[in-house]
C-alpha cells in the first residue's frame, strides 16, 4: 500500500462529519479534498500552502469534488499560519496533515524548511484535541529532504517520550532511492510538546 493510501486510511478512521482539520501543506489538494469530504458540510478544513499555485490547484480539486463550501484556503507559511491559530483554536482539531518537500511539477527550490516545519509541528501539538491525529509524510529523496526528516524524527521521539502514540511507516524499495516516510502521531491528554 502506498503511503498516500495509508494516510487516507488513517484519515477515514479518524474524521467524522462536523470535525475540524488542517492540511498544513496543501500541495495539489488531495488530502484537503479527502478531509473535506469526510467532515462534510458541517465540518471545516483549512488548507495552507506557501505557493499560490498550490492553493489554486487545491481550490480546483475542492470545487470538482463539491466540497469547497466547508473549506478555507490560505496562502501562508505553515508555521506562521498555525501559530496564529493557537490562541483561539487550542485543543480543537481532529487532524493535521503535512506533506514535506516541494510541490510536484513546480520549482523544486521552493520547499518546506526544517525550522519552519518544527515550529509548525509544535503549534500542531497545541491545536490538536486529545485523541487528535498528526500525519506527517516526509519526502526524503531531494536535497534537504533527509535532514528535514531527521529533525522531524527527533521531534517525534520527543513527543513520544511525553506520552503521545507515534508510529512510522516506510515502503520497502529495491533501488537506491530514499523512500518517503509517514509518521502517525496521536495526541494524548499529557502536556503538549
Judge whether residue 41 has pLDDT over 70. yes
Q: What is the domain class of 3-164 according to CATH?
A: alpha beta
Per-residue model confidence as pLDDT tens digits over 103-136 = 677 666 777 888 999 999 999 999 999 999 999 9
* Angle in degrees, CA 127, 150, 136, rounded to 5: 35
- Domain spans of the chain? 3-164
> What DSSP string runs through the chain?
--HHHHHHHHHHHH--TT-EEEESS-TTSHHHHHHHHHHTTTSEEEEEES-HHHHHHHHHHHHHTT-STTEEEEES-HHHHHHHHHHHHTT-EEEEEEEESB-TTS-TTSB--HHHHHHHHHHHHHHEEEEEEEEEEE--SSTTHHHHHHHHHHHHHHHHHTT-EEEEE----SSSSPPPEEEEEE--SSPP-
pTM of the entire predicted model? 0.93
Closest to 140 (Cα-Cα) out of 153, 149, 128: 149
Judge whether residue 190 has pLDDT over 60. no
Amino acid at each position: 500500500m502506498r503511503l498516500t493510501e495509508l494516510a487516507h486510511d488513517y484519515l477515514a478512521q479518524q474524521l467524522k462529519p462536523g470535525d475540524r482539520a488542517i492540511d498544513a501543506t496543501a500541495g495539489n489538494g488531495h488530502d484537503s479534498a479527502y478531509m473535506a469530504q469526510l467532515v462534510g458540510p458541517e465540518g471545516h478544513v483549512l488548507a495552507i500552502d506557501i505557493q499560490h499555485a498550490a492553493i489554486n490547484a487545491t481550490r480546483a480539486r475542492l470545487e470538482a469534488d463539491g466540497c469547497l463550501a466547508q473549506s478555507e484556503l490560505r496562502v501562508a507559511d505553515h508555521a506562521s499560519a498555525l501559530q496564529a491559530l493557537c490562541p483561539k483554536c487550542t485543543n480543537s482539531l481532529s487532524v493535521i496533515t503535512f506533506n514535506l518537500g516541494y510541490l510536484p511539477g513546480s520549482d523544486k527550490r521552493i520547499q518546506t524548511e526544517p525550522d519552519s516545519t518544527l515550529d509548525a509541528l509544535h503549534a500542531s501539538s497545541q491545536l490538536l484535541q486529545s485523541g487528535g491525529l498528526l500525519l506527517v509524510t516526509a519526502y526524503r529523496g531531494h536535497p534537504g529532504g533527509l535532514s528535514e526528516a531527521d529533525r522531524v524524527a527527533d521531534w517525534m521521539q520527543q513527543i513520544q517520550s511525553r506520552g503521545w502514540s507515534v508510529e512510522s511507516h516506510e515502503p520497502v524499495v529495491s533501488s537506491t532511492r530514499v523512500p518517503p516516510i509517514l509518521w502517525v502521531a496521536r495526541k494524548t491528554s499529557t502536556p503538549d510538546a
